[in-house]
């Protein structure tokens, strides 16, 4: 069944899965995701109805918290899916092409999930159109909004092209270049804040690109490993293993450089790098980067790929939270009665935003997978 050339499941497939769902055969992850979506939705609703002052633990000292870090995480995952799609199509076309629709679809829904987390932080979502009516070209946030909108648009177009079996090199390059600009803009939004030493760095836009590639590829690798188990095609995992090792090594080098630059400075505020040195080295580098790399070096099975990818996703999510929150830990401007160190711990409502975003991504993808949305595209492509 097609709508304007885009393949969608037939009515029989949709009704068949709905019957299985009603009979309790929809899959454990589907039911867990549905519960998470409902519970998380209650938390998001409370934020909008009760207001930030009663639901969120951010303050004038720490204006950015878990919601912003969740947005950054999902936005970078989305960009990483696009980078994975580009590299897979360019260098591993035979092994990768059957997974292309899944990878782009993951990039699309993670971008939307990131926007949902950001919307819960903004408060007045209905005013977002104002960035078009009153643009500020000197603001990195304005350009982030412009390019993020372009990023979602190009993802939709690329997905439609894949479903319609139109493989355009021009569209492939466009869907790569626009996310590069998008996530460099996001990195510059943090890296240009000169009053926050933990943010201020010309390395941050590059760090965002490679950490996005790492996390996006990790999510795609889980899907690839599951598909290789189902089909018995172990060769489909090899591109994702190679890309993940490249991503891990790249982020390790950039993290090391960022720490060294921070430690070498003795200006006010840079002591944050000395205070977080242990956690950045032991957890942020050895546990989050070296550990998964060693797993992939010595174990080349689907289970090892899934385990290392899950470890990457968890540790990179915590790294995004650390990046956002620790920037405010050492106040640069001191006033009367201000603490020397500022702490932050997210509220239950902020945690529910994370649950909502994660559940939305999992539920949408798994339901589409079970209804055969991606299998249809593979079957028809394979017949030509």
Q: Do residues 47 and 120 lie in contact, with contact meaning Cβ atoms separated by under 8 Å? A: yes
Q: What is the CATH architecture assignment of 2-331+341-382? A: Up-down Bundle (1.20)
User: pLDDT per residue over 357-384, tens digit each?
Assistant: 999 999 999 998 888 777 655 544 444 4
Which of 142-146, 343-347, 361-365 is least confident? 142-146
What's the rounded Cα separation, in Å, for the pair 145 and 208? 16
pLDDT of residue 243 exceeding 90, the answer is yes
At 384 the pLDDT is 41
User: pLDDT per residue over 285-312, tens digit each?
Assistant: 999 999 999 999 999 899 999 999 999 9
Which of 236-245, 302-311, 335-344 is least confident? 335-344
At 197 the pLDDT is 85
At 209 the pLDDT is 94
> Could you report how far apart the first and last alpha carbons of the chain are, in Å?
17
In which region does residue 193 sit, left (phi positive, over 0), alpha (psi from -120 to 50) or beta (all else)?
Answer: beta
What are the respective helix, strand and coil percentages of the chain, to the nearest 5? 75, 0, 25
pLDDT of residue 224 exceeding 90, the answer is yes
Which residues, 6 or more positions from 312, have their beta carbon under 8 angstroms from its beta carbon?
214, 215, 218, 244, 248, 288, 292
Per-domain boundaries in the chain: 2-331+341-382
H-helix or E-strand spanning residue 6: strand 6-7
Q: Of 239, 218, 242, 244, whose CA–CA distance to 317 is shortest?
A: 218
Across residues 108-115, what is the average pLDDT? 94
**Residue 210 burial (CB < 10 Å; 0-12/13-18/19+)?**
buried
pLDDT of residue 256 exceeding 60, the answer is yes
At 3 the pLDDT is 62
Tokens 């021009």 found at: 170
User: pLDDT per residue over 8-17, tens digit each?
Assistant: 777 777 788 8
Mean pLDDT for the chain? 88
Q: Do residues 216 and 193 lie in contact, with contact meaning Cβ atoms separated by under 8 Å? A: no
At 382 the pLDDT is 44
Confidence of residue 249 (pLDDT cuts 50, 70, 90): very high
User: pLDDT per residue over 43-83, tens digit each?
Assistant: 999 999 998 888 999 988 898 999 999 999 999 999 999 99
Tokens of 186: 């996001």
């Amino acid at each position: 069944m097609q709508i304007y050339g885009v393949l969608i499941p037939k009515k029989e497939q949709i009704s068949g899965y709905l019957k299985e769902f009603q009979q309790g055969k929809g899959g454990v992850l589907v039911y867990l995701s549905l519960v998470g979506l409902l519970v998380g939705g209650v938390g998001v609703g409370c934020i909008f109805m009760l207001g930030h002052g009663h639901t969120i633990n951010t303050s004038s000292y720490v204006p950015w918290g878990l919601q912003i870090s969740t947005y950054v995480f999902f936005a970078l995952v989305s960009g990483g899916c696009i980078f994975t799609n580009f590299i897979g199509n360019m260098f591993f076309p035979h092994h990768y092409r059957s997974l292309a629709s899944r990878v782009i679809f993951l990039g699309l829904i993670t971008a939307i999930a990131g926007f949902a987390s950001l919307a819960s932080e903004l408060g007045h979502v209905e005013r977002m159109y104002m960035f078009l009516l009153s643009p500020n070209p000197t603001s990195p946030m304005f350009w982030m909004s412009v390019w993020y909108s372009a990023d979602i648009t190009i993802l939709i177009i690329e997905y439609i092209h894949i479903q319609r079996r139109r493989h355009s090199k021009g569209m492939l390059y466009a869907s790569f270049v626009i996310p590069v600009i998008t996530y460099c803009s996001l990195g510059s939004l943090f890296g240009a804040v000169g009053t926050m030493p933990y943010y201020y760095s010309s390395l941050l836009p590059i760090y965002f690109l490679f950490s996005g590639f790492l996390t996006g590829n990790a999510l795609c690798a889980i899907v690839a490993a599951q598909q290789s188990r189902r089909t018995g095609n172990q060769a489909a995992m090899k591109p994702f293993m190679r890309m993940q090792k490249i991503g891990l090594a790249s982020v390790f080098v950039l993290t090391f450089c960022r720490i060294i630059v921070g430690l070498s400075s003795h200006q006010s505020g840079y002591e944050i790098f000395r205070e977080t040195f242990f956690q950045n080295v032991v957890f942020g580098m050895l546990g989050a980067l070296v550990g998964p790399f060693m797993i992939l070096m010595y174990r080349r099975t689907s289970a090892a790929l899934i385990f290392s990818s899950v470890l990457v996703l968890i540790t990179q999510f915590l790294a995004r939270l650390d990046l956002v929150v620790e920037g405010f830990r050492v106040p640069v401007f001191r006033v009367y009665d201000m603490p020397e160190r500022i702490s932050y711990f997210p509220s239950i409502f902020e945690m529910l935003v994370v649950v909502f975003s994660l559940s939305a991504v999992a539920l949408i993808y798994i339901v589409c997978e079970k209804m055969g949305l991606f299998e249809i595209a593979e079957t028809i492509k394979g017949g030509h």
